[in-house]
Amino acid sequence: MKKIYYVIGGLLGATLLYMGCNRAAGLNTNGALASSAAEKVYVAPGEQDEFYAFLSGGYSGNLTVYGLPSGRMFKEIPVFSQFPTSGYGYSEETKPMLNTSFGFIPWDDLHHPDISQTNGELDGRWVFVNGNNTPRIARISLETFETEEIIEIPNSAGNHSSAFITENTEYVIAGTRFAVPVPQRDMPINEYKGNFKGALSFISVDAETGRLDLKFQVIMPGFNYDLSHPGRGKSHGWHFFSTYNTEEANSLMEVNSSQNDKDFIAAINWQKIEEFVDNGGGTKMATNYAHNVYSHETHMGTSTMKNEVITVDPTQVEGAVFFLPTPKSPHGCDVDPSGEYIIGSGKLSADLTVHSFTKMLAAIEAEKFDGEAYGIPILSFDDVMAGVVKSGGLGPLHTEFDANGNAYTTFFISSEVVKWRLETWDVVDRKPTFYSVGHLMIPGGNSRKPFGKYVVAMNKITKDRYLPTGPELEHSAQIYDISGEKMELLYDFPTHGEPHYAAGCPAELLASKSKKIYRLDENKHPYAVTNPSEAKVERNGNEVHVYMSTIRSHFTPDNIEGIKVGDKVYFHITNHEQDFDVPHGFSIIGQNTSELLIMPGQTKTSVWEPKQVGVWPFYCTDFCSALHQEMQGYVRVSPANSNIELSWSLGE
Amino acid sequence: MKIKFAISTLLVALLLIGCGGKTEKKDDGFSVERTKSSEKVEQKAPETNEVPASQRITLDNKGVGQIKNITLDPEINQEMATTGGELFKTNCTACHKTDRRFIGPKMQGILERRSPEWVMNMILDPQLMVEEDRCAKDLLVEFNGAAMANQNLTVEQTRALLEYFRTL
């Protein structure tokens, strides 16, 4: 018996030892691999990332700023949505930014960021984004990382094939996804076909100031203009839009707008149309849209209503607009760095269709047309197609490029990124994503000069990627190293809202010019207090204006009396700090708007309507110094009929 | 038993304290044995032999920072002092009064206590000074931990402020 025990014991021991060794060996191997992926995304404490990435926030209405390769989020830039964190859209200065022809709109669905370019290369001055729901385009400064301008797009609905910029940032282009009556009018929905239109808007960008101006709209047939990209290099001057619902169905679209085996990519020679408009072409149409501009001098947004737009009938400008037949409801419409290839991702197909710009010009020259749609020539498919990528995947959506002739396409249905070669159209690698990837982004991957080190895949479905947080989850993103022949999955990180597309650039393009403070001596806000002796409280009927200043760690004044129930109190707060990263906050009990977060040198205003008699405190919400907790004050609110004199003080 | 007794005594005591706290008094305040920090500085002699930083005379100390040596003209440059006065109003008065202690020390007589170099270094990089200069560090403690704000002034502006201090 003993012997048997020994044997069993020995066997067990040996097995364990063996397993142990094996396990250790296995761990070592995995460990080595894992650590190499980890090292690639590890940004040591105190060190900084290699790239900025601007991920759209989708239905959050805002834009998020990330670092790559770490996947760390640095900032959420409020654009189309109210943002209590900073008071954007709540403060008196920023409310005008959200004004539209529909009135004040506190929200939008932000889709596609695009960084400004010069000669087809990223120049890092601004990033442009589109509001999809209430059609708008915003320009965000890449010095302040703040929204500086929002322009509403009339005659548009579902502003989706936007906001893409031409290679010298001459225009930011915004196309409508939904066809609508242009101008809007009361008419039966089922008379869509032939009556609804698709407006493609060309918004000029001032080279110095970035100021936007809706220069003209091309009024196209009533298809759905889904995505678009500018030509570059040889195709500079053209812009390409994918379309679906060329059936012009108005109901049960998921069936009825998928009937044609081919839809179109619309090729628009905007330089020709620009010339036409410059020479007095086009028709002025009465309309109504808001143009909102924010000034970093007055720290204030102003909204102006405009009431006219120049529309262009594409059939009136010869040789300016053509349709390229493209299979199965193309979604992504991407142009390679050379400007030669236009890739249509038929989202209901397995294949990608690649059109050649050179062949397109030749076909136009030779008039190789297959017919026309509403007077716009349809080019013959075989004469414009350069190749087909037989991917083996399902549901191609979007393509980005590296600098070495490779293209990377996302496949939504088969959840993968597929790498393929331009010109040979061969698939060279594929990697799964987690799960159901939408857009992907390579820094500069939509320019003449991509920085092909990483690709970020932005997914629509998260499921089991992170610890569960109930039914609602943030979306997941994966970053892959694409510097080698095969892609390598490095890291997985959650994103905020629903990123549709992103734009990235090398850190050095922006980091050194990022603004640190607003200069107090440049502050032109009408209610700014440039030195504490100017702090005061003024009454004008029921309106009370408090001119207040802050510095570590007190408000001037911090005691205010003589406010009455029924007053409308404007707190205009100027932050007198002139040092980097010393914001002060302001909040007061019963504030119906939001707090304010005021950067050094800035002035912001919050309205407070006291409803109850009493002595009510206010305080700084941003932990500003060791004496932050002491940064507080009181407002005495007296009955409406009281005759307490207005008074204010600090330290008396 | 003893323990039980102790516990009940404690409970009673707590109850008493609790009840005591609830009575509303209409006093203007309350008083306990303590000294106000501001009084301490001016009235009470320090426990050590050390003079409070605000009263120390450290004219030989040039501080830490980019200003190494400043020679002052015997004549005050009035134009420069005027510029300095304007800058003082916008950048400093939130915390400094000329004639009395406020958040920070008063500015009158500053150049009888500190060297011109020290003053300029303190304005140009208060954080560095607090880290590396003994006097600046002691001032921070004496002034309640209220760190001096870096107002991002240029050397030229700081020099103008210094000239203004000479007029006080």
pLDDT by residue (tens digit) across A408-419? 999 999 999 999
Across the interface, of A549, A627, A651, the residue whose CB is closest to B146 is: A627
Across the interface, of A531, A577, A626, the residue whose CB is closest to B145 is: A626
Give chain B's length. 168
Q: Which residue ranges make up each domain of chain B?
A: 53-167
Closest CA to A133 of A166, A86, A177: A177
Across the interface, do A551 and B94 touch by the CB < 8 Å criterion?
yes
Q: What is the mean pLDDT of the segment spanning A507-527?
A: 97
- Each residue of A483-493: pLDDT tens digit? 999 999 999 99
Across the interface, do B146 and A533 touch by the CB < 8 Å criterion?
no
Residue the block writes with tokens 């309205």: A607
Cis peptide before A557 (omega within 30 of 0): yes
Q: Give the whole-angstrom CA distance, residue A506 versus residue A546.
A: 44
Judged against a pLDDT cut of 90, whether residue A379 lies above it is answered with yes
Which pLDDT belongs to residue A19? 45
Test the A interface: residue of B83, B88, B89, B90 with most A CBs within 10 Å: B90
Judged against a pLDDT cut of 60, whether residue B7 lies above it is answered with no
Judged against a pLDDT cut of 60, whether residue A403 lies above it is answered with yes
Judged against a pLDDT cut of 60, whether residue B42 lies above it is answered with no
Side chain identity at A419, as an amino acid letter?
K
Closest CA of chain A from B146, distance in Å? 7
Which pLDDT belongs to residue A27? 42
Across the interface, do B152 and A578 touch by the CB < 8 Å criterion?
yes
- Each residue of A10-55: pLDDT tens digit? 444 444 444 444 444 434 444 445 568 999 999 999 999 999 999 9
Q: What is the mean pLDDT of the segment spanning B78-92?
A: 95
Domain with CATH 2.130.10.10 in chain A: 51-513
Nearest CA in chain B to A518: B152
Domain with CATH 2.60.40.420 in chain A: 524-649
Q: What is the mean pLDDT of the segment spanning B105-125?
A: 96
Across the interface, do B149 and A521 touch by the CB < 8 Å criterion?
no
Judged against a pLDDT cut of 80, whether residue A599 lies above it is answered with yes
Across the interface, of B94, B147, B152, the residue whose CB is closest to A625 is: B147
Domain spanning A524-649: which superfamily?
Cupredoxins -  blue copper proteins (2.60.40.420)
Across the interface, do A625 and B89 touch by the CB < 8 Å criterion?
no
Check: CB of residue A519 under 8 Å from CB of residue A530.
Answer: no
Nearest CA in chain B to A553: B146
Across the interface, of B94, B150, B153, the residue whose CB is closest to A576 is: B94
Test the B interface: residue of A578, A603, A649 with most B CBs within 10 Å: A578
ipTM of predicted assembly, 2 dp = 0.73
Which pLDDT belongs to residue B32? 77
- Write down the pTM of the prediction: 0.88
Judged against a pLDDT cut of 50, whether residue A123 lies above it is answered with yes
Q: Give the whole-angstrom CA distance, residue A62 versus residue A80.
A: 6
Closest CA of chain B from A576, distance in Å? 7
Which pLDDT belongs to residue A23? 41
Nearest CA in chain A to B90: A531
H or E stretch covering A633: strand A632-638
The confidence band for B2, taking pLDDT boundaries of 50, 70 and 90, is low
Three-state SS for A415?
coil
Nearest CA in chain B to A535: B94
Domain spanning A51-513: which superfamily?
YVTN repeat-like/Quinoprotein amine dehydrogenase (2.130.10.10)
Across the interface, do A579 and B152 touch by the CB < 8 Å criterion?
yes
The confidence band for B61, taking pLDDT boundaries of 50, 70 and 90, is very high
**Arch. (CATH architecture) of B53-167:** Orthogonal Bundle (1.10)
Numbered residues of chain A with Cβ closer than 8 Å to any chain B Cβ: 517, 520-521, 530-533, 549, 551-554, 556, 576-579, 582, 625-627, 651
* pLDDT averaged over every residue in chain A: 94
Which stretch of A16-20, A190-194, B52-56, B68-72 has the lowest confidence by average pLDDT? A16-20
Which pLDDT belongs to residue A261? 87
Judged against a pLDDT cut of 90, whether residue A471 lies above it is answered with yes
The confidence band for B68, taking pLDDT boundaries of 50, 70 and 90, is very high
The confidence band for A259, taking pLDDT boundaries of 50, 70 and 90, is confident
Across the interface, do B91 and A576 touch by the CB < 8 Å criterion?
yes
The confidence band for A452, taking pLDDT boundaries of 50, 70 and 90, is very high
Test the A interface: residue of B86, B87, B91 with most A CBs within 10 Å: B91
Test the B interface: residue of A520, A529, A552 with most B CBs within 10 Å: A552
Across the interface, of B93, B103, B149, the residue whose CB is closest to A531 is: B93
Closest CA to A205 of A305, A126, A261, A92: A126
Sheet strands side by side (includes A632-638) = A596-598, A584-588, A614-619, A632-638, A559-564, A647-649
Nearest CA in chain A to B124: A579
Closest CA of chain A from B126, distance in Å? 11
Residues from chain A contacting residue B145 (CB–CB below 8 Å): 625-627
Q: Compute CA distances B55 → A126, B105, B167, whole Å.
A: 53, 10, 20
Across the interface, of B102, B147, B151, the residue whose CB is closest to A626 is: B147
Across the interface, of A517, A533, A578, the residue whose CB is closest to B93 is: A533
Which stretch of A144-158, A524-538, B8-22 has the lowest confidence by average pLDDT? B8-22
CB proximity list for A441: less than 8 A, separation 6 or greater: A53, A55, A400, A455, A456, A458, A501, A502, A503, A504
Check: CB of residue A54 under 8 Å from CB of residue A503.
Answer: yes
The neighbouring-strand residues paired with A88 are A83
Across the interface, do A577 and B93 touch by the CB < 8 Å criterion?
no
Side chain identity at A76, as an amino acid letter?
E
Nearest CA in chain B to A528: B90
Q: What is the mean pLDDT of the segment spanning A312-338?
A: 96
Across the interface, do A554 and B94 touch by the CB < 8 Å criterion?
yes
Q: What angle do CA B128, B129, B135 make, to 5 degrees?
A: 155
- Strands A300-312, A212-221: pairing is parallel
Q: Give the whole-angstrom CA distance, residue A143 versus residue A510.
A: 7
Residues from chain A contacting residue B146 (CB–CB below 8 Å): 552-553, 625-627
Test the B interface: residue of A517, A518, A530, A531 with most B CBs within 10 Å: A531
Q: Give the whole-angstrom CA distance, residue A96 versus residue A92.
A: 8
Q: Give the whole-angstrom CA distance, residue A130 versus residue A328.
A: 25
**Cα–chain center distance at A121:** 19
